[in-house]
Structure 1
Amino acid sequence: MIVIESGGTKSTWVFEAKSDEIQAKETVGLHPQELSVDKKNVIRSFINDNNLKSETVYFYGAGCESPEAKVKITLFLEDLGLNVIQVQTDIYAACLAHLGNKKGVVGIIGTGAVAAKFDGEKVVQQTSGLGYLLGDEGSGYDIGKRLLQAYFKGELSLEIKESIEAYFNHKSILHRIHEPDGRMCIAGLTKTVRQFSSEQSVKQILAAAFSDFCESALKPFHTNSPIHFVGSVAYFFKVELAEALRKAGFEMGEVKKVAVFGVFDFLSSENKG
C-alpha cells in the first residue's frame, strides 16, 4: 500500500518496503492542473527506483475536489502501472490524520489554505480554498505576496530586501513571478519570512495573514472545538498562528507538518480491522 499526500510544491509517498520497514520519500507535486510529461518521467523513475509498480495507491492532493480532477490523477498514476484505490482531497487527508472517524475542524495551511468541518466520514463544510487569485489567506503564497508588496512599498529593512533580491538571483522580480511557476516562487518566500520572523515588519505580515485566515476560513464554522492543522506554513509558524487564533476567539489544536503518516496509520489499522 502507498499513501500519497501532494501539495502544489511536492508530494510525499509513504509505503512499506520489502523489509517491512515503513519508508517516506518526497518527489514532485502532483496537482491535477499541473501534470506534465516531465513530471510523468520523474514519477516513472521514482516508481522504478523504489520497486513500487503494481502497488495499491491512496492519493490525497490539492485540487482534487472535482470528478474530473480525480480522473486526471487516476489516469496519470495508472498509466505508470499503479493500482489506484482512492483519490481524495488534501483536506480529507488532513481530517483523517487528525480525527480518524471522529468529528472536528481541520485547516491546511501550506502553499494554499483551506479549512473544513468533518463529521467522522466526510467533509460537510469547507471554507476558504478559493485559490490564490481569490482567496487562500494565510497561505504560503499569500504570505509571500504580502512580503513582496512590503518590499515594493519600501517597508522592509535593508537586510530583508537584500535577502529577497538574492532569492531572485538579483534579476527582475516582476518578470520572475509572472513565469508559469510564479505561484510556487512566491510561496517559497516563506523561507525568508521564517528567517526574519522576529522583525516587526514580518511579524505584522504574519499577524495580518493569519488574522485574515481566521476571518475567511474559521469564522463561518461557529465552533468552540480546537482547530487542528496540517501544512508546512502552519507547522513553522505555529506560534504566530496560535496567537491569531487566540485573538479571533479560537483554540489551537494539534499541528502536523504533513498528514500522510497519520493517514497511513489510520488506513493500515482500518484494513487490518
Structure 2
Amino acid sequence: MLLIADSGSTKADWAWVAKDGETSYVHTAGYNPVVHPKELFHGEMDRLTTELLPGLSPKEVHYYGAGCWDYKRKQVIQDRIQQSWPEAKVLVMHDLLGAARAACGRNPGIACILGTGSNTCSYDGDDVTDNVTNLGFMLGDEGSGSHLGKALLRTYFYRELDDELTDAFEKFAKVDKSDILDKVYESDIPNTYLASFTRFMGEHQDHPLIQKIVFTSFAEFLDRHVRKYRGHLDLPVSFIGSIAFHFKPILLAAMHERDLKVGRFVHKPIEALADFHRSVATFK
C-alpha cells in the first residue's frame, strides 16, 4: 500500500494506492519549505491523518515537493510524515523528479513546471540530469503564476491597461490599490497572492494586452530555462501545472516560434504519478 504526494506552493494532491491497485485522491493546502513555516505542513498533516485519510497505514510514502532541494528542507517533511507512520518507508523528493515522472514517464525529455512557481529539468527516463537554477519568485519564476501576477499588477499600477480592462480588474480585485500593495508586501505567502491574479488573466486571455503579457512571460521562461539544455531542439518539452494547462495556446505559440518539440501537457500530475508507481513491480 502506497501513499504518493505531489505538493506545490498552493495545493498538495495525495494518492492512496491500495494493494489491489485501486486509487483514491485527496487534497490539502500546499507547502514549500522555502517560503512557508513548518507549522503549515504540520497542520495539514494533522488534517490528512485525522479527517481525510484516517486509519491508513502505508508501507511507503513518496512525497514530491516544491522547495525540497536539500537535506534540511527535506528533513522537515520527512520527520513529520514519519511521526504519523513510523513503520513506513518515507522518500521525500524534489518536485522536479515528480514532474519528470508524471510528464515523461520513462522517456527522455525536458520537464517543466508552470504553476504558482516555475522550474525545469532535463530527464533521461530514469532521473533528473540537469536543472537550470530556479531563483524563486523574488528573482525568477519566469512563466509562473506569480510572475504573471507581478506583470499584471505592474501594468495596472503604471496605468497601461485600457479602460475596459481597468474597470474589469478593479471589480475582480474588490480592494483598492493600497490593499493590494499591503497584501503583496505583508503577506506570509506573497507568491500565492500574486498567482491568484491569473484567474483574471485567464478570464480575459483573448484580450491582446493580456496575451502580450502572458506571451512575454512564457518567452522569457523558454529562453532562460528550456533553451539552455543540451539537445533542447530534439527532446520533447512537456508541462505540468495549472498555468501551462490554462494558457496552453499562448504557450504553444511561444514554443513554435522557437522550433521546440511539443511533448505532453499533464493537467493532473498526481494521476500520472500514481500510474507511474503502479507500473513499478515492487509496488504491486
TM-score by length of 2: 0.89
User: Are 1:262 and 2:267 counterparts?
Assistant: no
1:225 shift after superposition: 1.8
Compared CA separation, residues 52 and 91, structure 1 to 2 (3 A): farther
1:14 shift after superposition: 0.8
Quick one: which amino acid aligns to residue 269 of structure 2?
A: A
Alignment of 1:129-168 (within 5 A): 129-168=134-173
Aligned match of 1:81 in 59, 82, 85? 85
Q: Where does residue 228 of structure 1 map in the other structure?
A: 238
Contact residue 7 and residue 31 of structure 2 kept, 8 A:
yes
Unaligned ranges ≥5, structure 2: none
Aligned match of 1:37 in 35, 39, 46? 39
Question: Percent identity of the aligned residues?
Answer: 26
Compared CA separation, residues 63 and 154, structure 1 to 2 (3 A): same
Contact residue 11 and residue 29 of structure 1 kept, 8 A:
yes
Compared CA separation, residues 17 and 166, structure 1 to 2 (3 A): farther
**RMSD (Å), alpha carbons:** 2.0
Structure 1: distance between partners of 2:175 and 2:283: 54
1:20 shift after superposition: 6.3
Contact residue 115 and residue 241 of structure 2 kept, 8 A:
yes
Q: Where does residue 190 of structure 1 map in the other structure?
A: 198
1:54 shift after superposition: 3.3
Structure 2: distance between partners of 1:255 and 1:63: 22
1:116-142 CA-partner distances (Å, limit 9, x unpaired): 111222211112522112211111110
Alignment of 1:27-106 (within 5 A): 27-33=28-34, 34-49=36-51, 50-55=53-58, 56-81=60-85, 83-106=88-111
Quick one: which amino acid aligns to residue 71 of structure 1?
A: Q
Report the count of equivalent residues. 273
Q: Where does residue 211 of structure 2 map in the other structure?
A: 203
Compared CA separation, residues 52 and 219, structure 1 to 2 (3 A): farther
Structure 1: distance between partners of 2:206 and 2:20: 45
1:38 shift after superposition: 4.6
Unaligned ranges ≥5, structure 1: none
Structure 2: distance between partners of 1:173 and 1:236: 24
Structure 1: distance between partners of 2:92 and 2:258: 34
Quick one: which amino acid aligns to residue 11 of structure 1?
A: A
1:118-168 CA-partner distances (Å, limit 9, x unpaired): 122221111252211221111111011000010011111334334433444
Q: Say which SS state the counterpart of residue 100 (structure 2) adopts.
A: helix
Q: Where does residue 174 of structure 1 map in the other structure?
A: 181
1:77-132 CA-partner distances (Å, limit 9, x unpaired): 22233635211111101111132333211111111111111122221111252211
